[in-house]
Amino acid sequence: MNDTARQWWHNRVNIAIVAFLAIGGYFLSTEHRAHVIGALPWILVAACLVMHLFMHGGHGHGDDSDDHTGKKS
């Protein structure tokens, strides 16, 4: 392990920052879990709509060719 990584973990301020971020992340995830789980069906519907709008470009929709190379026959 190099010296800068070792020095980073030996600094008390950095350890305190990591601890506060971990505690804050825990409380943020536990308090907002119900909101996120309630929104999951709507996120799935929105993802389907976005994929439908943006991912049909590669299927050759709208052109009259059969070979999908972009050349009109």
CA end-to-end distance (rounded Å), the chain: 64
**Claim: this prediction has a pTM higher than 0.75:** no
Determine if residue 68 is left, alpha or beta; phi over 0 gives left, psi from -120 to 50 gives alpha, anything else beta.
left
In angstroms, the CA 61 to CA 29 distance is 42
Domain annotation covers residue 71: no
The phi, psi pair for 18, rounded to 5°, reads -60, -40
Tell me the residue range of the domain where 16 lies.
3-56
Q: What is the pLDDT of residue 2?
A: 65
Q: Provide mean pLDDT across the span 42-54.
A: 91
Domain annotation covers residue 20: yes
Domain annotation covers residue 68: no
Domain count, the chain: 1
Q: Provide mean pLDDT across the span 49-69.
A: 68
pLDDT tens digits, 3-18:
666 677 788 899 999 9
Domain annotation covers residue 70: no
Report the percent of the chain where pLDDT is more than 70: 68
Summary mean pLDDT of the chain: 79
